[in-house]
Amino acid sequence: MDGRQQCATCAGRVGESPGSHLHFALGGKVPNEDVTPHAARRRAAWIPLLWALCGLLPERAAAQAQPSRPAPEPPPRGSKAPPAPQDDPEALKAEALAVAARVAEDFPKDAFAHALLATVHYNHGNSAEALRCFDRCLQLDPTLADVCNLMGRVAHQKGDLDRAVTLYRQALRINPRMPDASYDLGRALLDLGRAEELIATMQEAIKACGRSTAHCYLLGQGYLLSKQYEKAKESLLAATEIDPSHIQAHFGLFTACSRLGQEEKAAEYLQKFSQLDAADKRAKSEGQMRERIRSGLPVVKETAARICTEVALLYRKRGHLIVAESLLRRAATIDPGNRGCRVALMTLYRTRDRPEDVAKVFEQLAEIQPGNGLNYCFLGTLHASLGQHGAAEEAFRRAVGLSPLQPDGYRCLAQVLLEAGRGVAEAKTLAAKLVELEPAAANYALLAVALVS
């Protein structure tokens, strides 16, 4: 365990590791909608549920929900993503690369398009092409901190630590409150043995981003390098207070206490380190077995669907809605669990006043993926937003039946029953089950509403 923090910007949106993706806000103007006040209130009531289904932060959901100005015609190329077998990892990788390459070719002056292509190359292990695309990104927009940080990681992996440090510092000049960049810079400085710079960098990071396990640990390492053992002990203790299972922090405490002559404490930390290290090795062994089972097709599907979704959002921003629709439908077909593409599809159709098309899409997805309750959650959400409570209830009951261990169906069904003003007793049972499956604040709030209804 290295203490790396999860990315807060994309929480729940995608399943990648911190820093392996880029953060961009896609938006546009919201057209004036001709709806009755009642319909507007009904739609607004279901917006939080849509966020919950997608797993998005409200800010990100709002950014993704902005429709683009329509373009007079789509790009000259075909409106469909290249077909690929659903169960062929190599074909799906090739498809993701082709989709990203096409959008970079269609919009050669869009930094985001080149960033997407660079990310695909990076994830496929083609660092030379990734760097070429990242360079193009920075030529178009030198303020992309994520791009600078990813370029630094490529240089770090290649052993060019000085170049990595330069790029990490460039990212932090653009965005001083970027925990991933300060963490990566700290690791590079530790590898270089530059103790004073490491200490100063971590102190600045803690001021800018707040205390984290990773920053406290690296600060402690800097103090160990500079032989300031009391300060090292203080920082490493702070790391273990935040994360008591941080293995290397306990070894650092053993080292600091040994240098301070505190033999009893040193032995205590060494014992704790040994226990955590043994447990970690067991967990890694089990995790590697799970990863071998999981790696391959499921991960490739997630990645391919994520790329299709991001590219679709870019086309939507540019007004090419036919292309965006095709790519979003492709993403939903590739990955049964991708919430982002389903929310984007629903938003796309609703902003174009095509609710019947939304229903058809999710009905088709339900046929393609008969065991996936998530499609019925989205279908029910559409019916609920249109005031069709009976159809919504039916869809949500299908979702619960298909996915009894997933919280979405229980949340949706409880909410539609409460909104319809009937089945309050059942809504209480559903909300209680929801809290059991997912003890989140919003779910407790729904349970509270059910209990007082």
CA distance 63 to 344: 11
Three-state SS for 227?
A: coil
Residue 39 lies in a domain: no
Structure tokens at 135: 């360079």
Give tens-digit pLDDT for 232-280. 999 999 999 999 999 999 999 999 999 999 999 999 999 999 999 998 8
Task: For residues 396 and 413, give the distance between their C-alpha atoms in angstroms, rounded to a whole number.
Answer: 5
Q: Which two structure tokens, joined as six digits, stand for 40?
A: 């507007």
Rg, the chain, Cα only: 25
d(CA 429, CA 442): 16
290-319 mean pLDDT: 82
Widest pairwise Cα distance in the chain? 76
Whole-angstrom distance, CA of residue 377 vs CA of residue 383: 10
82: three-class secondary structure by DSSP: coil
CB burial string 139-176: b at 16+ within 10 A, e below: ebeeebbbbbbbbbbbbbeeeebebbbbbbbbbbebbe
| Domain-located, residue 375 | no
Residue 63 lies in a domain: no
Query: In sequence order, what are the residues at sequence separation of 6 or more whose Cβ sits closer than 8 angstroms to the Cβ of residue 317?
Result: 26, 27, 28, 68
Give the rounded distance of the alpha carbon of 381 from its chain centre: 23
Alpha-carbon distance 399 to 18, whole Å? 31
| Crossing angle between the packed helical segments 195-209 and 213-225, to the nearest 10 degrees | 160
Q: Which residue has the tokens 């997933």?
A: 406
Instruction: Taking residues 349-374, report their average pLDDT.
Output: 75
Give the integer Cα–Cα distance in Å for 413 and 430: 8
What's the pLDDT band for 290 if we cut at 50, 70, 90? low
Q: What total number of domains does the chain contain? A: 1
Q: What angle do CA 344, 346, 350 make, to 5 degrees?
A: 115
**Between residues 352 and 194, which one has the greater pLDDT?**
194
Q: Is residue 121 part of a domain?
A: yes
The pair phi, psi for residue 398, each rounded to 5°, is -65, -40
Q: List Cβ neighbours of 337 (8 Å cut-off, separation of 6 or more).
A: 302, 372, 374
Whether 267 maps to a domain, the answer reads: yes
Tell me, yes or no, whether 20 lies in a domain: no
Tokens matching residue 91: 């074909």
Q: What DSSP string runs through 261-323? A: T-HHHHHHHHHHHHHHHHHHHHHHHHHHHHHHHHTTHHHHHHHHHHHHHHHHHHHHHTT-HHH
pLDDT at 435 > cutoff 70? yes
The predicted structure's pLDDT at residue 133: 93
Q: Which two tokens stand for residue 101?
A: 């390459």
Residue 110 domain flag: yes
Render pLDDT for 102-113 as a digit per residue (tens, 0 to 9): 999 999 999 999
CATH code: domain of residue 173:
1.25.40.10
Rounded to the nearest integer, the mean pLDDT of the chain is 79
User: What is the predicted pLDDT for the residue at 240?
Assistant: 95
Of 78-92, 151-165, 300-314, minimum mean pLDDT range: 78-92
Give a yes or no: residue 328 inside a domain.
no
Residue 264 is part of which domain span?
Answer: 89-294
Residue 73 DSSP label: S
What is the per-residue pLDDT for 217?
Answer: 96
Question: Do residues 181 and 197 make contact, with C-beta atoms less than 8 angstroms apart?
Answer: no
pLDDT of the residue at 332: 85
Burial of 55 from C-beta contacts in 10 A (0-12 / 13-18 / 19+):
middle
Q: What span, in angstroms and rounded, lies between the C-alpha atoms of 437 and 103?
A: 40
**C-alpha span between 347 and 354 (Å, rounded):** 10
**Residue 445 to residue 152: CA distance in whole angstroms:** 43
Q: Are the CB atoms for 280 and 247 separated by under 8 Å?
A: yes
**Structure-derived torsion over alpha carbons of residues 12, 14, 15, 20, reported in degrees to the nearest 10:** -120
